[in-house]
Chains A and B, each alone.
Chain A
Amino acid sequence: MTTNIINRSTAPETGALHFEGFPAYKQELINNHFPCYSVENFSSNVVRLDISIPSGSWMQSKPLQSSSMARMITEGTKQFNSFQIAEAIDFSGAYLDVSSSPHRTILSIYAVKDILVSLLPLVKSILTEPTFPADELKTILANNKQEFIISNKKVMGRARRFFPSLLYGNRHPYGTVIEEKHFDALSTEDMQSLFNALPLSESSIFLGGNIDENVMEHLQNLFSDAAFAKSNSNTEQNYNSEPSSEKEHLITVPDAVQSALILGTPVVGRSHPDFPVLMLTNTILGGFFGSRLMKTIREEKGYTYGISSGITARAQASHFSIQTEVMAEVTQQALDEIFREISRLSVAPVEMNELDIARNYLFGSFLRNMDGPFALVERLQTALQENLDPNVYYSSYWDAIAAATPADIQHMAQKYLIPENMHVLIVGNKQ
């Protein structure tokens, strides 16, 4: 029953957003050696295990070698063939994934709580004795190649693969552009040699969710295998960025009805004190639905279904980028508008109200990203991979954003988002 006439034009009272610090997690050593981090949460019935190994495309000698090795590691071991592995996982109602990034190879398992320990013998076999069968490798590379060819027919697919080379150069692991021929150049030996160089002794373990009390015992058994004593036999290589000298690169796709645009420039990463306020600056420019780019390019002009900006933060180098797919006829107008928005941030300070909207959006998104044990496990990994203490890093990130002023935003834009420094890639049509 409503007795009072309510005032619909005025927003209800709201509470300020707070971050109480990174939630409690356990840190212990398995077999007095392997760091294990766990976030317990018994509100659900499921659990996640990640085994993270510090190796990735940074250590590879050929394009696709690391991601293919990660993919192939579950395709046959001395004890189990490819089908047996897949069937055991499916029968358990679990999910298994091995991912590869420039600096990490991570095996992740999601399972209903009681199931996890029963899958650990399989995990052990996968990580210690994969065989990389040649016939499986051939099929998987052929399929991946087709998937690549299809994805490269999409303007944005092609743009995303090509753009990093403009900032880092094709020889840098962050900038290598994948080509069809790379799928044909990989052999079982390439898989085996990169696997042999995996520094398994430097693995870290992450657990989240409804963690069985017996799981530690089983993990001790798993990591007691001699294979986990294996340390890095590769010496880590150094790569320098070799940015392209041309600022605008066009790949013409004659019949495209939309052009994919990516603009970007190198910026600082998580360990730099500017990073939090730079993230806030990015949010104002293109980091959410209410951002300047979204308002101008989509909501004012109707040039696109969506436009966004973001920061790709990695251990060795980071970059800012803007991406969108726009009506082909207005490719140049869209670019002009994007540049106008980039410049506007440097020229005049943002209004306090606009700053507060972006700040609170970013806070909300931060809190969402900390919601639940699986998310927390990811946040732990993000910080620890860059040798940041999660308890310090996330609190100081929040505090820096809370303290940011319009002058700080303008300063970040002037320092990092310099229009003349932007590399521009157009895939599509530019009349």
Chain B
Amino acid sequence: MLQFEKYTLANGLKLLINNDKSTPMSVVNILYGVGARDEDENRTGFAHLFEHLMFGGSINIPEFDTPLEKVGGENNAFTNNDYTNYYVTLPAQNIETALWLESDRMLSLAFSEKSLEVQRKVVMEEFKQRYLNQPYGDAWLHLRPLAFKVHPYRWATIGKDLSHIENATMNDVKEFYEKWYNPANAIMTIGGPLDTDKVIQLVEKWFGDIRKPHQAQHSIPQEPVQNEKRVMTLERDVPFRALYQAWHMPGRMEADYKVCDLISDLLSNGASSRLYQNLVKDKNYFSSLNGYISGDFDPGLFIIQGELSDGFHFDDVKPAIEAEIQQIKDGKFSDRELEKVKNKIVSTFEFSKISCLNNAMNLSLYEWMGDAGMINQELEKYKAITRDDISRVANKIFCDTNLSELMYEPTK
């Protein structure tokens, strides 16, 4: 069980408190319910660029990082397709500094032209570093629009291309902030060795008077059912052939999401898993091969991705992946194997719980998905999954008309 208390401020800000006496450090985690899926298709990459600007000074405080560093704190943030998450860890006695800083940037930003100018450049370098300047770096820039034709998951968080970031204006920045960055669209989790009443009092002090309207609605076009196999080949200066197969799968709140998670574990979690044992080690078709789920809130992707061992062609290895999937469809795995992947879910949960930061991020996320309390029902739901569930879901998602396939063919 992960213990927590919940409190909602009059302005709509949700507060979760995870009292953890085992650490001298505290965590302040704030999730804003906006991600790349909320972007305009002509202004992609904006949620992420905006995340950078949240560090460029707020209305009353010229710099976010410095006052925090001065009290022994550290912070960072990430943006994904669904939401944006900011987190601070600092010695518990100085927690008020984090609340002061976070509340000011929730109240209003400084909107400095210089900051926009520089962060635009920084994000463009981030784009180059992650997506352009390494082998296979552009895979997701191509796989997303292949698998999604309508849903905004068709672009990456960093943006469709560099020009969208180059062209962002201060006006865009202000509109985005006004629409999404307000208390009622935020979920704050505070963790550490703290007194709950004192935390509530401090949060009321710093956040209670932030009054901003929140009418923003997610209007996200849902992806129609795919009905043909999609294939794309990229010729690139890469050392080996690489294969990416992606099937549409259920969204995070659907029961079958967890079934897909277990399927990916059967295929690929740990050195004893099927893809690694059979296709990497026994046949050595691949130097590495992984199956995983994208973890998106809306219906996302089940992915199998690997680099082919030197000398093998796609036609040599694809039937072998198909055969592995067929085994899952046919329910051909032992009771012990099913028990193994469930044991792993349980232990992963136990390991995750030792980090106060993980707990805070997860509580904010589950509350955003509907209810933080769901986090304590997860294990039971995984334990209830049967062989028939796995077979049924595998048969449903692993068909060619639901498949998008990306292949890298080396030019030299």
Q: Known contacts A149-B239, A371-B25; decide if A364 and B270 are in contact (CB<8 Å).
A: no
- B137 to chain A: closest residue by CB: A154
Secondary structure class of chain A's binding surface, majority of residues: mixed
Q: Is B402 an interface residue (CB 8 A)?
A: no
Q: Report chain A residues within 8 Å CB of B24.
A: 367, 371
Q: Which of A37-45, A101-109, A188-196 is near enough to bind chain B?
A: A37-45
Contact with A along B347-386 (1 / 0, CB 8 A): 1101101100000000000000000000000000000000
Q: How many residues of A contact B (CB 8 A)?
A: 71
Q: Is A28 an interface residue (CB 8 A)?
A: no
Distance in angstroms from B238 CB to nearest chain A CB is 7
Q: Which residues 15-66 of A sit at the B interface, judged by CB distance below 8 A?
A: 15, 17, 41, 43-46
Q: Is A357 an interface residue (CB 8 A)?
A: yes
Contact B25 A12 (CB under 8 A): no
Q: Is A110 an interface residue (CB 8 A)?
A: yes
Q: Which residues 148-191 of A sit at the B interface, judged by CB distance below 8 A?
A: 149-150, 153-155
Q: Report chain A residues within 8 Å CB of B120.
A: 302
Q: Report chain B residues within 8 Å CB of A302.
A: 117-122, 125
Contact B280 A143 (CB under 8 A): yes
Q: Is A349 an interface residue (CB 8 A)?
A: no
Q: Report chain B residues within 8 Å CB of A298.
A: 118, 122
Cα-based distance from A46 to B355 in the complex (angstroms): 12
Q: How many residues of B contact A (CB 8 A)?
A: 81
Q: Is B332 an interface residue (CB 8 A)?
A: no
Distance in angstroms from A309 CB to nearest chain B CB is 16
Cα-based distance from A143 to B240 in the complex (angstroms): 12
- The one of B104, B309, B336 in contact with A8, judged by C-beta atoms closer than 8 angstroms, is B104
Contact B107 A8 (CB under 8 A): yes
Cα-based distance from A12 to B103 in the complex (angstroms): 13
- B353 to chain A: closest residue by CB: A44
Q: Is A129 an interface residue (CB 8 A)?
A: no
Q: Report chain B residues within 8 Å CB of A271.
A: none
6 contacts between A and B (CB under 8 A): A1-B204, A8-B100, A17-B91, A83-B277, A112-B347, A302-B125
Contact B288 A374 (CB under 8 A): no
Distance in angstroms from B193 CB to nearest chain A CB is 11
Contact A150 B347 (CB under 8 A): no
Q: Measuring CB to CB, which residues of chain A are less than 8 angstroms from any residue of chain B?
A: 1-2, 6, 8-9, 11-15, 17, 41, 43-46, 82-83, 86-87, 89-94, 110-112, 136, 139, 142-143, 146-147, 149-150, 153-155, 255-258, 288-290, 298-305, 325-327, 356-358, 360-361, 363-365, 367-368, 371-372, 374
Q: Known contacts A153-B239, A302-B117, A302-B122; decide if A372 and B133 are in contact (CB<8 Å).
A: no
- A283 to chain B: closest residue by CB: B69
Contact B344 A142 (CB under 8 A): no
Q: Which of B59-67, B253-261, B317-325 is near enough to bind chain A?
A: B59-67
Contact A360 B69 (CB under 8 A): yes
Q: Is B96 an interface residue (CB 8 A)?
A: yes
Q: Among B104, B309, B310, B351, which residue has the most Cβ atoms of chain A within 10 A? A: B351
Contact with A along B118-138 (1 / 0, CB 8 A): 111111011011001111100
Distance in angstroms from A260 CB to nearest chain B CB is 9
Distance in angstroms from B237 CB to nearest chain A CB is 7
Contact B67 A11 (CB under 8 A): yes
- B90 to chain A: closest residue by CB: A364
Q: Report chain A residues within 8 Å CB of B284.
A: 139, 142-143
Contact B70 A356 (CB under 8 A): yes
Contact B71 A255 (CB under 8 A): no
Q: Report chain B residues within 8 Å CB of A149.
A: 239-240
Q: Report chain B residues within 8 Å CB of A8.
A: 59-61, 100, 103-104, 107
- The one of A13, A92, A255, A356 in contact with B96, judged by C-beta atoms closer than 8 angstroms, is A13
Q: Report chain B residues within 8 Å CB of A372.
A: 22-23, 354
Q: Which residues 246-285 of B sit at the A interface, judged by CB distance below 8 A?
A: 269-273, 277, 280-281, 284
Q: Report chain B residues within 8 Å CB of A360.
A: 69-72
Q: Report chain B residues within 8 Å CB of A305.
A: 122-123, 125-126, 129
Q: Known contacts A91-B340, A147-B287; decide if A6 and B205 are in contact (CB<8 Å).
A: yes
- The one of A110, A142, A303 in contact with B309, judged by C-beta atoms closer than 8 angstroms, is A142
- The one of A87, A299, A303, A364 in contact with B272, judged by C-beta atoms closer than 8 angstroms, is A87
Contact A300 B133 (CB under 8 A): no
Q: Known contacts A6-B205, A364-B90; decide if A89 and B270 are in contact (CB<8 Å).
A: yes
Distance in angstroms from A426 CB to nearest chain B CB is 14
Contact with A along B52-95 (1 / 0, CB 8 A): 00000001110001110111111000000000000001110110
